Structure 1
Amino acid sequence: MSSSTKALEPAFQGVGQRPGTEIWRIENFQPFPLPKSDHGKFYMGDSYIVLQTTPGKGGAYLYDIHFWIGKDTSQDEAGTAAIKTVELDAVLGGRAVQHRELQGHESDKFLSYFKPCIIPLEGGIATGFKKVEEEAFEIQLFLFARSSLNHDDVFILDTEKKIYQFNGANSNIQERGKALEVIQFLKEKYHDGTCDIAIVDDGKLDTESDSGEFWVLFGGFAPIGKKVANEDDIIPETTPAKLYSITDGEVKIVEGELSKGLLENNKCYLLDCGAEIFVWVGRVTQVEERKAASQAAEEFVASQNRPKATRLTRLIQGHETHSFKSNFDSWPAGSAAPGTEEGRGKVAALLKQQGVGLKGLAKSAPVNEEVPPLLEGGGKMEVWCINGSSKTALPKEDVGKFYSGDCYIILYTYHSGDRKEDYLLCCWFGNDSLEEDQKMATRLANTMSNSLKGRPVQEPPQFVALFQPLVILKGGLSSGYKKCIAEKGLPDETYTADSVALFRISGTLVHNDKAVQVDAVATSLNSAECFLLQSGSSIFTWHGNQSTFEQQQLAAKIAEFLKPGVTLKHAKEGTESSAFWFALGGKQSYTSKKFSPEIVRDPHLFTFSFNKGKFQVEEVYNFSQDDLLTEDMLILDTQAEVFVWVGQSVDPKEKQNVFDIGQKYIEMAVSLDGLSPNVPLYKVTEGNEPSFFTSYFSWDPTKAAVQGNSFQKKAALLFGLGHHVVEERSNGNQGGPTQRASALAALSSAFNPSSGKPSHLDRSNGSNQGGTTQRASALAALSSAFKSSPGSKTTTPKPSGIGQGSQRRAAVAALSSVLTAEKKSTPETSPSRSPPSETNLPGEKKMSFSMFLID
């Protein structure tokens, strides 16, 4: 971009210079920076521009620009936001990905900047909303009626002293768990962390007062109507992609199969995928052309009468996103521009486990592989070679020697933290191994995995570090390999102790000490490396002029491993003997090019699905440990390895397809993102995550230790680890007779004759004012008695020596004593109950509260 483009908008001067989020609100058709204290607050009458800057490779930054349109904003303001977004992109060099965000239909990437949620507020700049410092609790609250509730969603009712979560009977566990995250956010941000929290289940009346208090706020209990669908609820369908060219604001379809070759760098295009519409901008187009293309896309969406949830994304040539490229039949590997990866928001994770500070560290810095945590305490190594339909254990002295024509199973047993034993189970396939041997190795490894009670993590990373050293030999020992080369008439080059063999030392540290057998010719040498040359009973160490002292030490160690007690003959580059060159078939020229492979640790987390048989992924942006839901399987791609994380509650049949799913992802990422086809693939099970997996997260062991489904786990963490969460019952009023529920509700009302509302017990500070301790004890005893009937669930242990009948009698007696005492000390009054209202709250004074829908 020319320097003149940088003067398009003064408000954008100096932006995008550091990682983070920057926001502007459109005021009088001009962008004004929003202070950090207001980030996450979006007024419904306004439009905003949000810039997210993340580190990329080589020190470059990646940019995502979002323009957010409130439901009450004017068309002119929305148009201004779209135009200013193009100008902001020009200031950043024209390489940002741009996203249109409509209120209520925000993308996952946008929402990830404001976890756990954004809360749109009434009003806007045109309505003169109050300044931040003047805001009180009531200002950001909305008044809802019971008609807002339905059986399909989860709602949060936020009152001044208590936050309620209403779980619709048909809502799913993940929605309920997400709502608890929002409640925690509301509690800390708007209640100073001191308010009470209550869970209200649709169709159930609990023994506590929460359910009664909730319905009193609506004027009393009444049946809930069905969810009424409207335009906002329509989910756009994904359709076969169609490509259109945009010329002078006119949109014309492009015929033919979709391929990258159709996109010309001096034009703009529109890719219609149904649920999402992309605007692709050639790199040599001008700013005005880009503005016109964005406007044409807006008009195209309007003319098609698409649902509001249709996403609109604009991207520049060379910075295409994965979701865009996946629509094309061909996208040449390696055609991406540097730094095009989307969502690269995390630094090298292995540095975490080494205790290195992360702030301000360049992501392009190579990772210094030190002692992996799984090796710190030592462990037991067992290795088997696949031979036909069986496996043969390797003797201890051969552990670490792998033939390229064979397959192996490796089991490493070690101790991790407080666990008695952890296991790493791995299948290693040589490059020249047979497919049938690979399948047999996988089958036998799965059998071993089952016998180990599901504890092992298959395909451990840092594989080399387990052996110290690891030597890859030519040929194979298995009967299958021998038969295969004989049938093909190929010579058997399998390594023996007496053969002429040349080994390249590829390690740099003791824990990545590795040697690979290469062709025994002079052209295999490299001045930047060290080599071992075995010729009969002799072994030469050859040190290239550019090799390091550490490499030379590793060469000596590997020589001792191959031939214990051997006397080495040293050959520094330029001082080689005639015997050295004779063993290599004569002296020839060789390279001095230095290879410095960088270990990139830049993780992405994905969910996946199969749409009409096609494997598709969705990225989880700014991911955390909380995104690992026990009902799901997720894919973690670090570029150096691929993990498939399997939750405990995943269907057993789905668990059997873990490696098939991982392989499908790798094949897709190879074609679209240039991932190495030989990247290691790992399986990690919930509750048994090893340190080399958890290092990619800010891992909290207390969260990992909590049992239950997603909702139960988060409820236990919110209320305290000792808090019991009743198992979900999503089909109405199961789990107890209606008569019992009615009786308990009546008792709750009887306990509070003066207010007409159930009693409020402040569980957060332990206070039981007004004599509620005795009542609570009686009600708890009665609840225990009621719940101890056959088929019901109980969390209260039955006292020894007390039968079910006597337990109930004791509870009733205690309750009778409480009610009699209260009747004598309190004048009889009739509970004042306002009739149910769909528009107003009960009582003379309207109460301020807010309700949020979790969808």
Structure 2
Amino acid sequence: RASVGVKGNIKESDEMVEQTHYNHIKLYQCSDEDGTYKVTEVKTGPLYQSDLDSKDSFIIDQNGRGIWVWVGKGASKKERIEAIRNAHGFVRKKKYDTSIPVTRVVEHGEPVEFKSLFHTWRDPNESVMLYNKDMIENIARVTPSEWDMTSLHANSQLSANTRLVDKGKGKKTVWRLKNVELEPVDESMYGVFFSGDCYLVHYQYEGGDILYYWLGSHSSIKEQTAVTIQTIVKDNNDFSGNAVQVRLVQGKECLHFLTMFEGSAIIYKGDHQDVLPTTFLLQVTGTNETNTKAIQVNMSASCLNSNDVFIVKKEEAYFIWCGKGSSENERKMAGCIVRRISNDGYSVI
């Protein structure tokens, strides 16, 4: 349904998107057959499901935009256990940004975002799925971190095609890393995070289990390593290694992760506190339940931005400061967040 006079440009653009998508992906095979773990580049360019071997595990590199680890059903126990840790080593070796999303999936438990990396994909007992140009444009370029891109709300077609796992209404369990061990988080604090900590969130839904491990921007390397190991242990002990493991860095949370907390996730500065601060300033970003979060910033007028909405808490009083460039939806979501943490109402300024 292109406008008159631009059909050729749109067709050319579609072909370029498809070509770029296929040509920039690299596939690596991981193996420990001789007792030494090896990562070998298999191919660059179009990927096919037949490129994967159930006996091994593979790393797929989206040109430094996202890393996927696929674990075959017949992969060794060592490969299954260490797949995600080895993927992190791969990121370091490639000198990629440490915030790059890393996701582990198992054979027959692949999400659509993973399947869209392949030219064709056939699920057990299903016909072949061909990813056409429209899907390539709207899905295949989506990496785990981009599931929460703020542009999503402005593009309903993209929203429909990203196919979130579900509406976030499944069962959640949250742990905080404390002294390298997992400590259960009280349900009343689900969705409240501290930048100096690391968290593990188990999400159970009809199609399986997801383990999100969230790394605060001020958490230590020791804590980040420990929560990675705890995720692996949790997966193997509780889910026979079949859960999807997703690494999230603060500021790069995926849409589904934010959806689980109904657009009211709050990230405070520093280490965990049983009692929330009495005075703080939160910057609210997002326009709906799938992309909204509030992040604590310095309590200073210089931190206010005329395009955003902020929540101000001063002792017992709550205020919502609305920049002149903010939208009605942003203001509405700020109100939802305040109602979550206060029963006393708020003033709009």
TM, length-normalised to structure 1: 0.24
Which letter does structure 2 place at the counterpart of 1:54? E
- Which structure has the higher relative contact order (CA within 8 Å, separation 6+)? 1
| % same residue | 22
Query: C-alpha offsets along residues 79-124 of structure 1, whole Å, 9 cap, x if unaligned?
Result: xxxxxxxxxxxxxxxxxxxxxxxxxxxx976xx6xx9xxxxxxxxx
Structure 1 equivalent of residue 182 of structure 2: 391
Q: State the shift of 1:16 in Å.
A: 6.9
What's the counterpart of residue 195 of structure 2?
404
Question: Which residue identity does 2:229 align to in structure 1?
Answer: R
Tell me which residue corresponds to 1:424.
210
**Equivalent residue for 1:550?**
329
Q: How is 1:322-361 mapped onto 2 (pairs within 5 angstroms)?
A: 346-349=136-139
Aligned AA (1:450): N
Deviation string 1:497-526 (CA, Å, 9 cap, x unpaired) is 343210111011122221111111111111
Distance in 2, Cα, partners of 1:174 & 1:546 = 49
Alpha-carbon displacement from aligned partner over 1:625-656 (angstroms, at most 9, x marks no partner): xxxxxxxxxxxxxxxxxxxxxxxxxxxxxxxx
- In structure 2, give the amino acid aligned to 1:408: Y
1:444 correspondence with 2:230:
yes
Which aligned pairs between 1:272-311 and structure 2 lie closer than 5 A?
none
Matches of 2:158 and 2:167, distance apart in 1: 17
- In the alignment, the residues of structure 1 paired with residue 345 and residue 9 of structure 2 have an alpha-carbon distance, to the nearest angstrom, of 58
Gaps of 5+ in 1: 1-13, 21-51, 63-106, 116-172, 176-329, 331-342, 353-363, 417-421, 478-493, 572-855
Q: Secondary structure at the match of 1:541?
A: strand
Of residues 235, 239, 246, the one that matches 1:459 is: 246
Of 169, 191, 210, 1:378 maps to: 169
Q: Which runs of 5+ in 2 are unaligned?
A: 1-5, 21-42, 53-94, 96-118, 120-132, 143-153, 248-253
Opposite residue 528 of structure 1, the aligned amino acid is: N
Structure with bigger strand share is 2
**Structure 2 residue matching 1:375: 3-state secondary structure:** coil
Other-structure match for 2:265: 470
CA displacement 1:681-729 (0-9 Å, x = unmatched): xxxxxxxxxxxxxxxxxxxxxxxxxxxxxxxxxxxxxxxxxxxxxxxxx
Q: Which amino acid aligns with 1:456?
A: A
Structural mapping, 1:508-527, within 5 Å: 508-527=287-306
CA distance in 1, matches of 2:285, 2:157: 16
* Partner residue in 1 for 2:11: 19
Task: Summarize deviations over 1:160-192 as a string: whole Å, max 9, x none.
Answer: xxxxxxxxxxxxx969xxxxxxxxxxxxxxxxx
Structure 1 position 54, deviation (Å):
2.3
- SS of the aligned residue for 2:302 comes to helix
The one-letter amino acid of 2:219's match is S
- Per-residue CA distance 1:702-759 (angstroms, 9 max, x = gap): xxxxxxxxxxxxxxxxxxxxxxxxxxxxxxxxxxxxxxxxxxxxxxxxxxxxxxxxxx
Q: Indicate the residue corresponding to 1:54 in structure 2.
A: 15
Deviations 1:251-296 (A, max 9, x none): xxxxxxxxxxxxxxxxxxxxxxxxxxxxxxxxxxxxxxxxxxxxxx
Structure 1 378/566 Cα, relative in aligned 2: closer, same or farther at 3 Å?
same
What SS does the aligned partner of 1:546 have?
A: coil
Between the aligned partners of 2:7 and 2:286, the Cα distance in structure 1 is: 43
* 1:495/1:501 contact within 8 Å kept: no
Asked if the contact 2:195–2:218 (Cα under 8 Å) also holds between the matched residues in 1, the reply is yes
SS at 1:542 equivalent:
strand
Q: Distance in 2 between the 1:508 and 1:19 partners?
A: 32
The whole-number CA distance in structure 1 between the counterparts of 2:241 and 2:190 is 25
Provide the rounded CA distance (Å) in 2 between the counterparts of 1:19 and 1:56. Answer: 10
Q: Distance in 1 between matches of 2:311 and 2:14?
A: 48
TM-score, normalising length: structure 2: 0.55
Q: What per-residue deviation string (whole Å, max 9, x for no partner) do you get for residues 214-245 of structure 1?
A: xxxxxxxxxxxxxxxxxxxxxxxxxxxxxxxx
What residue is the counterpart of 2:348 in the other structure?
570
* SS across alignment from 1:374: coil
Q: Is the 8 A contact 1:350 1:367 kept in 2?
A: no
Give the secondary structure class of the aligned counterpart of 2:267.
strand
Letter in 2 for 1:464: L
By how many angstroms is 1:15 displaced? 12
Kindly report which structure 2 residues correspond to 1:18-417, keeping only aligned pairs within 5 A, or say none.
19=11, 54-55=15-16, 346-349=136-139, 369=159, 373-376=164-167, 378-416=169-207
Cα deviation per residue 1:132-171 (whole Å; 9 max; x = unaligned)? xxxxxxxxxxxxxxxxxxxxxxxxxxxxxxxxxxxxxxxx
Q: In 1, Cα distance between the equivalents of 2:164 and 2:281?
A: 33
Aligned match of 2:308: 529
Kindly indicate whether the alpha-carbon contact (under 8 Å) linking 1:375 and 1:466 is maintained by their aligned counterparts in 2: no
Which residue identity does 2:271 align to in structure 1? G
CA contact (8 A) 1:16 1:53 kept: no
Is the CA contact 1:530–1:555 (under 8 Å) kept in the aligned structure 2?
yes
2:326 maps to a residue whose letter is S
1:499-510 correspondence runs (5 A) = 499-510=278-289
> Separation in 2 of the partners of 1:396 and 1:387?
17
Contact residue 474 and residue 495 of structure 1 kept, 8 A: no
Structure 1 498/429 Cα, relative in aligned 2: closer, same or farther at 3 Å? closer
Cα distance in 1, alignment partners of residues 340 and 7 from structure 2 = 57
- Note if contact 1:401-1:472 (Cα within 8 Å) is conserved in structure 2: yes
Q: Give the Å deviation of 1:535.
A: 0.6
Structure 1's 378 and 54: CA in aligned 2 closer, same or farther, altered over 3 A?
same
Confirm or deny: 8 A CA contact 1:498 1:535 kept in the other structure.
no
- How far apart, in 2, do the equivalents of 1:498 and 1:377 lie? 28
Alignment of 1:830-845 (within 5 A): none
Provide the aligned length of Structure 1 versus Structure 2.
225
Instruction: Evaluate the alpha carbon distance shift between residue 448 and residue 53 of structure 1 in structure 2; reply closer, same or farther with a 3 A threshold.
Output: closer
1:475, 1:495 within 8 Å by CA — same for their partners in 2?
Answer: no
Relative to 1, partners in 2 of residues 1:408 and 1:16: Cα closer, same or farther, differing over 3 Å? same
Q: Could you tell me whether the CA contact under 8 Å between 2:278 and 2:316 is conserved in 1?
A: no
> What is the rounded CA distance, in whole Å, between the counterparts of 2:44 and 2:228 in structure 1?
36
**Local SS of the residue matching 1:550:** helix
Cα distance in 1 for partners of 2:240, 2:204 equals 14
1:491-506 alignment to 2 at 5 Å? 496-506=275-285
- Look at both structures and tell me which one has the larger radius of gyration over its CA atoms: 1
In 1, the alpha carbon distance for the partners of 2:269 and 2:155 equals 34
Q: Check 1:446–1:537 CA distance in 2 against 1; reply closer, same or farther (3 A cut).
A: same
Letter in 2 for 1:19: K
Distance in 1 (CA, whole Å) between partners of 2:211 and 2:318 is 34
In 1, the alpha carbon distance for the partners of 2:322 and 2:310 equals 7
8 Å Cα contact 2:284/2:308 also seen in 1? yes
Is the 2:175–2:201 contact (alpha carbons within 8 Å) kept by the matching residues of 1? yes
What's the CA shift for 1:528? 1.3
Structure 1 residues 465 and 350 mapped into 2: Cα distance closer, same or farther (>3 Å)? farther
Q: What do the CA deviations read for 1:289-317 (whole angstroms, capped 9, x no partner)?
A: xxxxxxxxxxxxxxxxxxxxxxxxxxxxx
8 Å CA contact 1:410–1:425 kept in 2: the answer is yes
Q: Distance in 1 between matches of 2:51 and 2:205?
A: 34
CA–CA separation in structure 1 for the residues paired with 2:183 and 2:157: 36
